[in-house]
Structure 1
């Protein structure tokens, strides 16, 4: 039996088990989890972690288990066990996807998918941080999808564990607060307030992580200093040809490639993928869009210059027509 056949069989088996798990997901609730885990006695944490990891692989809702962790183990141990189970499950799903489909995707990926893959790999742990803190995609599906990219396994696991922590802590506290409210414990009000504060703070994380990912935009003074020092960099002017050669002129040595032509002419810049690229337009709006396109295509250091040619000319620095 060759390797491809083994992969197909394993893939079919996995899909079948996922289908069964999803069909029975109505039976998967906090009460059922509590019964299963409490019946394990001293091995309860290990059973909980194993259930969380299996649920992650089988597309069962992780939020239910995290809430159950707060009910069963309290806010501290519940967070630790939930995070351990979620990280283990995310790692397993990643490895399964990479084994079953990584090579196939690499061989058949078109130019657009290859550029996206390069961009994800170039971002590395920053991309993992962003998608873990900003839930743009379902958690379980994302674990498999990331296994099909070129992100290295160890940074994926470490970044996942670190940046899943805020969500695990918030939902665990929420489960713990619910338990305290039902039992009428003395710390009910405090537990509820902490849970609400943690959940509310999650709403501000997307804005914070976007700022964290963004590199500071260089200005024309920094660009002039780099050029005068003879540093190796490409000045890419993304204005149209008429603006580039018009009255305002352009920075000497700049390459002109209009923003609207950039997606279909990306291959012309392949040699600059690991180089410093500074993007210029009349201000910085079009150059910011170009920077996003280049970063998504795997260029490591493509940044717009704040103020563009308007700021450059305001300094009285020379330009070429």
Structure 2
């Protein structure tokens, strides 16, 4: 029985790889015009066929942006958003289930070290992590669907969080497709529709910063940090000053790790152990540390705090430095 199950998985994996290869080789022919030709004459079955095509595209690594824009052009802003969102969620769910069936057990056995800690952190956040990466797309949509299937995130939570949190982006790009079609056709109110489309895109572009602020935890005083360190709490003190300032006049908090703000985005892999553990950012005052906290929150770190007053307040209190 176990051997048959393995053979079935290898067979499905081979079919999937071949299908993805064929789809990618023909992706240049996959555009809005071709999609409209496929749907022409399908009548009431058109929306269902469109959603199935969207789902297949998500599984086969075809560009979803083409479909989203086409959905707006073909079905309008309201129904287009509904069909785009449903098709995208269906495809995301299929990719999630395929990855879970084919490789989740193997990944569970083989993953170790930092990757295991990262996987555990993602699973601990569950639907909140799914919601975050849907609102703030850090990774390619098609690849992310398969990657999340390798975790133990609850399927129902994954579906609901995906559907709800993909809504802003789906709405913006669907309306953009609709506005483009109206502009080509010379419909009324082209300027207003174009401005609304640009406004929706601007809103989606602003989401990462807004979500980052929501995920960033409240700031704390140097007294609170000192109390945590005295209690040997599991907290990383991240000093984001330059190396010269770290060892300069103000010195630094014992045990602090120094990653300058300018280098932080390129060294995030050094902090994966703290993806879901508390990080306290500190600088001379709190300006650089606030920027660092915002960056970390936008990159998925879920428990980031800023020390108000930074090393200036720490030294004024007479707390130990090294």
The bucket for the TM-score relative to the shorter chain is 0.7 to 0.9
TM-score, normalised via structure 1 length: 0.76
Q: Deviations over 1:63-116 (max 9, x none)?
A: 111111111110011001100100111111111111111111111112011111
Counterpart pick for 1:39 among 34, 38, 41? 41
Unpaired stretches in structure 2, ≥5 consecutive residues: 240-245, 259-267
Please give the alpha-carbon distance, in whole angstroms, between the structure 2 residues aligned to 1:82 and 1:137: 19
Please give the alpha-carbon distance, in whole angstroms, between the structure 1 residues aligned to 2:306 and 2:212: 17
User: Is 1:128 aligned to residue 126 of structure 2?
Assistant: no
Q: Secondary structure at the match of 2:195?
A: helix
Please show how residues 1-321 of structure 1 align to structure 2 within 5 Å: 1-220=3-222, 222=224, 233=233, 257-259=255-257, 303=305, 305-307=307-309, 310-312=312-314, 314=316, 316=317
What is the deviation of 1:220? 3.2
Moved over 6 A (4+): 235-239, 247-250, 272-290, 317-321
CA contact (8 A) 1:234 1:278 kept: no
Unpaired stretches in structure 1, ≥5 consecutive residues: 251-255
Q: CA RMSD in A?
A: 4.1
What is the deviation of 1:204? 1.7
Please give the alpha-carbon distance, in whole angstroms, between the structure 2 residues aligned to 1:24 and 1:274: 41
What is the deviation of 1:131? 2.4
Distance change >3 Å, CA 310–CA 69, structure 1 → 2: same
What is the deviation of 1:147? 1.3
CA contact (8 A) 2:72 2:176 kept: yes
Please give the alpha-carbon distance, in whole angstroms, between the structure 2 residues aligned to 1:183 and 1:289: 47
Residues 6-15 or 281-290, more deviating: 281-290
